[in-house]
């Protein structure tokens, strides 16, 4: 993990993986109506491992565990209620096996995913986020990545739980452009501005801030808004297409070459960590590996 932090400090562009759930769907794995891709840890673990392996082969420096929907309050609504520790541990094991089988001498890092998207009550969820963070850390993740932080209250509980564990935490904010005034806000924002949301969340902790699970056209404005409040490293991990629970609709996904063109703009802004979530697949990541510069520019550029 120290080596990754050094690479980031030196301005290197780091490639994350693409969407795990999307890739599992492409391979015929059914998504669960309550726990989405988490069920694959129980029903299709070998396919989860193969998806990780293929992202590593495509050039990803970081693979994210398939634990987006594996917190206790999510699994308790399913037939997997008694398998919280087992499935979260299995997710890390599968990622580690994929790295061992595929990475060779190339450093590949494992991020443990925690999300507020599938949530329970406030007090219940807070304890569950900490439990999941502890399990993922004990199983061997290199750091934790908070995916799809969509509002201030739940995100604060989740980030606080993660940073209390003591390993690096990356904060992934899910943003949108509000229609009535064209302002950047969190996806489930109530009355707070984006600046107010950042002022509430950033002091809790985190070593990198990413705009994640946001539309591609909203990513650059959101990155600029983050830069007004944050001078640390930035990441971008957007989505493309259309989601209707529990399945991703693939007909509107951005072509890989167009995704690369957008990613180049984000790098010019100083964004170092680039990948993709729902809808973004292997070919998108392969083109990022081939087409992005090795480092961010020493002088950042404004991107419209």
Largest CA distance in the chain: 52
DSSP of 117-145, one letter per residue?
A: SS---HHHHHHHHHHHHHHHHHHT-SEEE
Share above pLDDT 70 across residues of the chain, in percent, rounded to a whole number: 93
* CATH at 165: 3.20.20.330
* Lowest model confidence (mean pLDDT) among 4-13, 53-62, 192-201, 217-226: 192-201
Query: Is residue 160 in a domain?
Result: yes
Give the model's pLDDT for residue 60: 99
Query: Is residue 276 in a domain?
Result: yes
- Residue reference for tokens 């404005």: 221
Query: Is residue 93 in a domain?
Result: yes
Query: Is residue 206 in a domain?
Result: yes
Cα–Cα distance for residue pair 216/254, rounded to 1 Å: 9
Note the pLDDT tens digit of each residue in 120-149. Answer: 556 778 899 999 999 999 999 999 999 989
Query: Is residue 73 in a domain?
Result: yes
Residue 264, Cβ neighbours under 10 Å: how many? 15
Q: Is 255 helix (H, G, I), strand (E, B) or coil?
A: coil
Range of the domain at 241: 2-291
Total number of residues shown for the chain: 304
Query: Is residue 297 in a domain?
Result: no
pTM of the model: 0.94
Mean of all residue pLDDT scores within the chain: 92
Query: Is residue 304 in a domain?
Result: no
User: Where would I find the beta strands (DSSP E) of the chain?
Assistant: 14-15, 62-64, 109-115, 143-149, 169-173, 175-177, 184-186, 208-215, 234-239, 242-244, 247-249, 273-274
- Average the pLDDT over 193-203 and give the result: 92
Return phi, psi of residue 288, to 5°.
-60, -45
Give the model's pLDDT for residue 182: 87
- Average the pLDDT over 230-236 and give the result: 98
Cα–Cα distance for residue pair 263/39, rounded to 1 Å: 31
Burial of 301 (0-12, 13-18, 19+ CB in 10 A): exposed
246: cis peptide before it, omega within 30°?
yes
Query: Is residue 296 in a domain?
Result: no
Q: Domain tally for the chain?
A: 1
Give the model's pLDDT for residue 92: 99
């Amino acid at each position: 993990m120290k080596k990754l932090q050094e690479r980031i400090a030196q301005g290197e562009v780091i490639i994350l993986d693409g969407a795990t759930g999307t890739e599992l769907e492409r391979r015929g794995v059914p998504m669960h109506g309550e726990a989405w891709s988490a069920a694959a840890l129980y029903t299709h673990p070998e396919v989860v491992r193969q998806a990780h392996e293929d992202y590593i082969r495509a050039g990803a420096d970081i693979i994210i565990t398939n634990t987006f929907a594996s917190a206790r309050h999510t699994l308790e609504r399913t037939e997997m209620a008694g398998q919280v520790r087992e499935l979260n541990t299995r997710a890390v094991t599968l990622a580690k096996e994929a790295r061992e089988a595929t990475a060779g001498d190339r450093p590949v890092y494992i991020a443990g995913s925690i999300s507020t998207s599938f949530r329970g009550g406030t007090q219940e969820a807070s304890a569950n986020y900490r439990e999941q963070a502890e399990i993922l850390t004990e199983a061997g993740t290199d750091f934790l990545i908070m995916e799809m932080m969509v509002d201030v209250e739940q995100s604060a509980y989740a980030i606080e739980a993660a940073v209390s564990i003591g390993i690096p935490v990356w904060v992934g904010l899910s943003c949108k452009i509000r229609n009535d005034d064209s302002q950047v806000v969190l996806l489930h924002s109530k009355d707070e501005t984006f600046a107010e949301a950042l002022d509430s969340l950033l002091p809790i902790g985190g070593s990198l801030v990413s705009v994640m699970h946001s539309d591609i056209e909203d990513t650059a404005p959101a990155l600029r808004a983050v830069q007004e409040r944050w001078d640390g490293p930035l990441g971008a991990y957007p989505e493309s297409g259309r989601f209707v629970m529990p399945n991703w609709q693939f007909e509107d996904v951005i072509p890989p070459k167009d995704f690369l063109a957008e990613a180049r703009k984000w790098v010019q802004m100083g964004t170092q960590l680039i990948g993709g979530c729902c809808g973004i697949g292997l070919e998108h990541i392969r083109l990022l590996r081939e087409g992005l510069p090795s480092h961010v520019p020493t002088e950042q550029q404004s991107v419209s």
